[in-house]
Amino acid sequence: EEQLVESGGGLVKPGESLRLSCEVSGITFTNVWMSWVRQAPGKGLEWVGRIKSKGDGGTTDYAAPVKGRFTISRDDSKNTMYLQMNSLKTEDTAVYHCTTEPGSYFGYWGLGTLLTVSS
């Protein structure tokens, strides 16, 4: 069974850093493009960024609000994707979901992990 499990969320202050993880099982992780999508309280879904499979170059793309502050990486030996978030802002408060990206849409999703940025 395909499963994506996010972890690492919590309460941080503005300007601080945090790293989220997404552990994947039941899928051939090596071949999969992965994305992060977030949902702020009372708001809709927002794409954060993605990482391609290493076979497709392993490159990353980011949404404008997080570019330069967030970094996505992957460790195929651990079936895990990461989201390193620096210089956090209150507007980054959201539930962060990891997803697979089989073809410009989002296939499997995790339940998400909550990040709260507040002083």
Partner 1 sequence: DIQMTQSPSSVSASVGDTVTITCRASQGIANWLAWYQRKPGKAPKVLIYSASSLQSEVPSRFSGSGFGTDFTLTISSLQPEDFATYYCQQANSLPWTFGQGTKVEIK
Output the six-digit token pair for 55. Answer: 């076979």
Q: Quick check: 8 binds partner 1 (CB under 8 A)? A: no
| Whole-number Å distance between alpha carbons of 108 and 63 | 20
> Residue 66 corresponds to which amino acid?
V
Binding mask 83-112 for partner 1 (x = CB under 8 A): --------------x-----xxxxx-xxxx
Q: Quick check: 45 binds partner 1 (CB under 8 A)? A: yes
Residue with Cβ nearer partner 1 (16 or 56):
56
Shortest Å distance, C-beta 42 to partner 1: 11
Of 61, 68, 75, 118, the residue at the interface with partner 1 (CB under 8 A) is: 61
Instruction: Provide CB contacts within 8 A for 17, sequence distance 6+.
Output: 84, 85, 86, 87, 88
Output the six-digit token pair for 96. Answer: 């962060």
